[in-house]
């Protein structure tokens, strides 16, 4: 018991607390001179408004930030020593619904988080509903929402009986055997990734690069013209762009039947028109993907497709992300393009965010075959998951196994020097880069846009690469709407051009700088039609891979599931594992099939290496895979890693399945 208490003390203090968020440990450190408040009625947008609601505050305060969607306002105090007293007094005010410290989870400029007063709790499967109720009552919690995308999961709020804040409650719940997940729901800042410069140019070289101007290399494009001979997109296919404001009166969007299910979550209405001086990013992104072919201005890669504009706030929360993806899911978006991420460098996804993205990617669209979801890799020239200059980088959205992480190449078919990188990068698409030219696209009309007029010539970054790739996903679905989202992702990767082969460091077809290469729209559509460029059928297998990065528990079983979505008979199968461990001979590694069979891959190994990185093939080991050959691949496959001794450390880095059918 003494050792257990010592461990708990090391994980929490008056100013810091360490919690699991998703699959990672995160340390939350109080910002010493800051608090956030939500009133039961109205807003506290100034010190005067705050004091009129909660009473006199014993030191000067200043309003410094706001999350409009969660109605949270952030203040700094002039005397940090009085912060605890101020917070305690305000919590007693009848007008205050939530009063909380703010926290930082890393030292980047966007690393601050606000607990918004709710938690996500997921009980283990064998825990009864009566026990659910007992535990919630014990901590003074009440259910706000049953989470249909997270089994046995709830959003819960604190009641008057709660005696501790959400972080401390989550910490205690994470120690309970009945609890699978307990995480405080957070508000966090968003990074839109790109600020345009002043360089101008007047052609859409990313669609058709003839190499006829300074800074251009012929064919450093997506082969749009050849792809358009097959399709320019169907109105039945909808691209949802989630971003800041959208100028829907722009001539490239203001087309009968073009706009479907618009939503503004900042103002909670259906008009996502720009309202702030810098609300320009969304209009530019949307144009790259789906600007209409109408004889004027620019054209998107998928001009015939429909457009679902969804405006978000620049401060989001775990719950707000759920709401955004539910809107796209419920309104049958086919493709979801996100040219943003959390501003914090070290941002693991919460279990709630991970689950809602998984649901959208595997169950969305009108035919339930999953939304194709793309996220920008980002523009900081840092690893998606690693360390740069001593600072942890973990870009949770781009690391989600069900999404397509998009990097940027330039007009010379080289890496854009700002583009984030790593083994998780799926593909890249043409965008700005030095040397090289920028992207011309739709702009907020008038003088408030990036440029004066209806178009900008200065866009770029992975913000532009991502909707370009989203346009290709929409073209693919326009040719074959029966493809599942994982198949679309694989097609885009397999048909990409392996650019810069001399410096790209490609291993097994993947580069940490370019992913599987620069997208090629014509090759992808020919692939979908069942032919490659010499007329042969190529698409007969599907690869699903999870980058897990989960610590392996001592004397316990560590699991990770992959859901295979296709009802197909297995002809051949490969299981890929990458497990790092200081004593791999202590590990037992198996895969449980959807039908309950156990495939024992490793039962101890004496290989002289710190881990197990192998591909197990049915062609090499037919006896091992005999139970699944000819069976259906559809369902949940579980990797199970058992560590039979204590003290030695390791993690499941990634694993995957390739099924040939």
User: Is 619 part of the annotated catalytic residue set?
Assistant: no
CA–CA separation, 397 vs 316, rounded Å? Answer: 13
Omega of the bond leading into 75 within 30 degrees of 0 (cis): no
Smallest Cα–Cα separation from 472: which of 335, 641, 580?
A: 335
Query: How far from the centroid of its chain's Cα atoms is residue 92's Cα?
Result: 38
Q: CA-CA distances (angstroms) from residue 385 to 185, 420, 423, 424, 491?
A: 23, 10, 9, 8, 24
Rounded CA separation 380/604 (Å): 41
CA distances (Å), origin 235, targets 226, 253, 297, 568 = 20, 13, 20, 30
Q: Is 162 exposed, middle or buried (0-12, 13-18, 19+ CB in 10 A)?
A: middle
Tell me the C-alpha distance between 179 and 461, whole Å. Answer: 41
> To the nearest 10°, the Cα dihedral for 467, 341, 311, 440?
-30
- Count Cβ atoms within 10 A of the Cβ of residue 203 and give its class: 0-12 exposed, 13-18 middle, 19 or more buried: middle
Q: Which of 101, 281, 327, 581 is catalytic?
A: 281
Backbone angles phi, psi at 9, to 5 degrees: -65, -35
Helix (H, G, I), strand (E, B) or coil at 260: coil
Distance CA 453, CA 77 (A): 43
Contact 351, 283 (CB under 8 A): no
| 281 counts as catalytic | yes
CA distances 279 to 64, 252, 377, 456, 474, Å, are 20, 18, 21, 14, 25
Of the residues 463, 464, 478, 511, only one is catalytic, namely 463
Among residues 185, 243, 247, 334, which one is catalytic?
Answer: 243
Integer angstrom CA distances of residue 386 from 503, 548, 660: 21, 14, 33
Strands 24-39 and 635-643: unpaired
Q: Which residues contact 569 (CB under 8 A, 6 or more apart)?
A: 630, 631, 632, 633, 661
Q: Are 574 and 616 in contact (CB under 8 A)?
A: yes
| Residue 556 among the catalytic residues | no
The three-state secondary structure class of 59 is: coil
Give strand pairing partners of 562: 637
Instruction: Say if strands 112-123 and 179-191 run parallel, antiparallel, or are unpaired.
Output: antiparallel
Using left for φ > 0, alpha for ψ between -120 and 50, and beta otherwise, residue 101 falls in beta
Question: Rounded CA gap, 639 and 598, in Å?
Answer: 10
Q: Which residues are catalytic?
A: 243, 281, 463
């Amino acid at each position: 018991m003494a050792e257990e208490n010592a461990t708990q003390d090391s994980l929490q203090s008056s100013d810091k607390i360490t919690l699991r968020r998703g699959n990672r440990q995160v340390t939350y450190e109080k910002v010493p001179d800051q608090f956030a408040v939500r009133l039961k009625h109205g807003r506290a947008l100034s010190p005067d408004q705050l004091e009129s609601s909660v009473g006199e505050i014993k030191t000067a305060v200043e309003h410094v930030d706001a999350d409009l969607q969660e109605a949270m306002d952030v203040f700094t105090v002039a005397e940090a020593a009085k912060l605890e007293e101020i917070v305690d007094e305000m919590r007693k005010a009848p007008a205050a619904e939530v009063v909380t410290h703010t926290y930082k989870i890393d030292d980047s400029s966007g690393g601050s988080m606000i607990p918004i007063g709710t938690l996500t709790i997921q009980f283990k499967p064998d825990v009864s509903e009566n026990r659910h109720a007992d535990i919630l009552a014990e901590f003074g919690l009440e259910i706000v929402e049953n989470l249909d995308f997270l089994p046995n999961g709830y959003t819960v709020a604190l009641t008057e009986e709660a005696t501790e804040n959400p972080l401390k409650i989550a910490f205690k719940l994470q120690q309970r055997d009945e609890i699978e997940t307990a995480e405080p729901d957070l508000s966090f800042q968003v990074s839109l990734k790109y600020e345009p410069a002043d360089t101008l140019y007047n052609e859409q070289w990313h669609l058709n690069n003839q190499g006829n101007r300074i800074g251009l290399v012929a064919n450093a494009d997506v082969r749009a013209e050849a792809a358009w001979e097959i399709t320019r997109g169907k109105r039945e296919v909808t691209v949802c762009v989630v971003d800041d404001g959208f100028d829907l009166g722009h001539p490239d969007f203001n087309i009968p039947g073009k706009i479907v299910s618009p939503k503004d979550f900042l103002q909670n209405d259906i008009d996502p028109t720009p309202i702030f001086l810098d609300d320009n990013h969304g209009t530019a992104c949307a144009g790259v993907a789906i600007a209409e072919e109408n004889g004027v201005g620019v054209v998107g890669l998928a001009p015939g497709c429909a457009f679902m504009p969804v405006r978000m706030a620049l401060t989001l929360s775990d719950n707000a992300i759920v709401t955004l993806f539910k809107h796209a899911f419920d309104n049958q978006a086919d493709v979801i393009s996100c040219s943003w991420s959390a501003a914090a460098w070290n941002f693991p996804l919460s279990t709630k965010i991970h689950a809602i993205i998984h649901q959208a990617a595997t169950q969305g669209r009108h035919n339930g075959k999953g939304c194709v979801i793309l996220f920008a890799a980002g523009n900081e020239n840092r690893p998606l998951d690693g360390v740069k200059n001593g600072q942890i980088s973990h870009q949770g959205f781009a690391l989600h196994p069900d999404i397509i992480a998009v990097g940027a190449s330039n007009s010379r078919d080289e890496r854009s020097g700002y583009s984030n990188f790593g083994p998780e990068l799926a593909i890249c698409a043409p965008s700005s880069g030095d040397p090289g030219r920028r992207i011309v696209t739709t702009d907020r009309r008038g003088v408030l846009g990036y440029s004066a007029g209806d178009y900008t010539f200065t866009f770029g970054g992975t913000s532009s690469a991502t909707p370009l790739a989203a346009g290709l996903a929409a073209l693919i679905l326009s040719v074959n709407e029966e493809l599942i989202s994982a198949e679309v992702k694989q097609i885009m990767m397999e048909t990409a051009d392996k650019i810069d082969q001399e410096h790209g460091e490609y291993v097994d077809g993947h580069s940490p700088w370019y992913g599987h290469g620069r997208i090629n729209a014509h090759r992808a559509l020919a692939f979908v039609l069942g032919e490659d460029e010499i007329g042969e059928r190529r698409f007969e297998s599907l690869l699903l891979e999870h980058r897990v990065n989960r610590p392996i528990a001592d004397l316990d079983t560590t699991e990770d599931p992959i859901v295979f979505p296709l009802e197909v008979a297995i002809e051949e199968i490969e299981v890929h594992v990458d497990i790092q461990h200081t004593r791999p001979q202590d590990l037992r590694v198996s895969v449980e099939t959807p039908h309950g069979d156990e495939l024992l891959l490793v039962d101890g190994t004496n290989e002289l290496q710190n881990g197990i990185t192998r591909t197990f093939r049915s062609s090499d080991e037919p006896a091992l895979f005999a139970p699944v050959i000819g069976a259906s691949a559809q369902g949940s496959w579980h990797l199970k890693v058992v560590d039979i001794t204590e003290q030695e450390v390791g993690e499941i880095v990634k694993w995957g399945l390739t099924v040939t059918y």
